[in-house]
Amino acid sequence: RMLSGYKPKNDITDSYKILELEEGCSLDDVRNSYRNLAKKYHPDSSSGMADSKAFIRVEEAYRVVLSDLTAKQKSEPGEEEEDQFKSKSLQHRHYLSFEGVGIGTPSQREKQYMQFRVDRATEQVLEYRQQRLESRYAGSDLSRAQDVRQSKKVKITQAVERLVEDLIQESMAKGDFDNLSGKGKPLQKFSHSPHIDPMTHNLNRILIDNGYQPEWILLQKEIRETIERLRKSIVASRRKLGEPMTLPEQKQWGRICEQFAEDIRKLNKRVDNFNLVVPILSRQMVHFSSDKEILRARKTYEAVVEKVSDSDRKENGREEGKRFGWKSSLLKWLKL
């Protein structure tokens, strides 16, 4: 049945009817109809309409319809012309690629072409290096002459600079710069610079007149004021406590130190911000250590206590001298 090429018209019409289709349907419709009917009539299916004879008729009709659709597609003029064009086209069209290099299958020719490209690139690199060396040796005399002239210019410039520096130092030693006009006077606030455009010069003058300061200057001033305030506050807190400290006073001093360490941590964050915006590397600041600051506060407190004790002793001595002054004067009079 598969090899037979001729099917009567009635057989084809009946086959379409068995598949519940109409002539002119698509190949997908034929396949879907055959699949649905096979599920219905196949003996191994669980359908209640399973019938082996009906399934055989459906299968025969499906084959007949497929052969009919295949014959119709081959008989269409557009596809026939396309098949003719394909049959007449070059079977070795891939030989037009790879710049005509290589033989064999496309994959073999591709490998040969990649090796050809590598060899060609190597040759081009060697030629470039050769040309570069030739040009270097050809212009070596010219480059040497240019280097000699450049070195002479550098030596002359350095000699002139040393000579000018020596003359300036000699004039300063003689005192030629002592009687200059404007000596001892402050520099002009807005001296004109030829390297700054007038707009920038005017903007700087307006900002300075209104008390403008850069951000890093303000941050530096704030950090210094804050650390001085914290140092004074912790010394004052220590002076309020007794000497020696009792147990409650020691606990209070511990809380004061914890708060001081927290304030130092916040201050170090400001130091980090300052180091990010300061334009001069040498002006950057290091972090403050809470332990070192507490130790410094203790030493300051001890120094203050010693000074107070010394002043108390002097005052006591003066009072005693005033109290016994008339006795000493009487003894001196008796001696005389």
Greatest Cα pair distance in the chain: 174
Q: Is residue 191 part of a domain?
A: no
Residues 301, 238 contacting (CB under 8 angstroms): yes
Give yes or no for residue 86 having a pLDDT over 60: no
Distance, CA of 116 to CA of 103 (rounded, Å): 13
The band of 91, judged by pLDDT with boundaries at 50, 70 and 90, is very low
Give yes or no for residue 87 having a pLDDT over 50: no
The band of 239, judged by pLDDT with boundaries at 50, 70 and 90, is confident
Domains in the chain: how many in total? Answer: 2
Q: Is residue 179 part of a domain?
A: no
pLDDT of residue 272: 93
Residue at a domain's end among 29, 53, 72: 72
Q: Is residue 17 part of a domain?
A: yes
Q: Is residue 181 part of a domain?
A: no
Q: Is residue 85 part of a domain?
A: no
Residue at a domain's end among 72, 94, 120: 72
- Write out pLDDT tens, residues 100-150: 777 778 788 888 888 888 888 888 888 888 888 877 766 666 666 677 777
Domain with 247, as residue range(s), is 214-334
Q: Is residue 162 part of a domain?
A: no
- Write out pLDDT tens, residues 314-333: 666 566 555 555 666 666 67
Domain with 30 in it: what CATH number?
1.10.287.110
pLDDT of residue 262: 94
Distance, CA of 224 to CA of 300 (rounded, Å): 18
Q: Is residue 67 part of a domain?
A: yes
Cα–Cα–Cα angle for 147, 148, 149, nearest 5°? 90
pTM of the model: 0.37
Report the chain's terminal Cα–Cα distance, integer Å: 168
pLDDT of residue 51: 80
DSSP string for residues in 209-230: HTT---HHHHHHHHHHHHHHHH
Q: Is residue 22 part of a domain?
A: yes
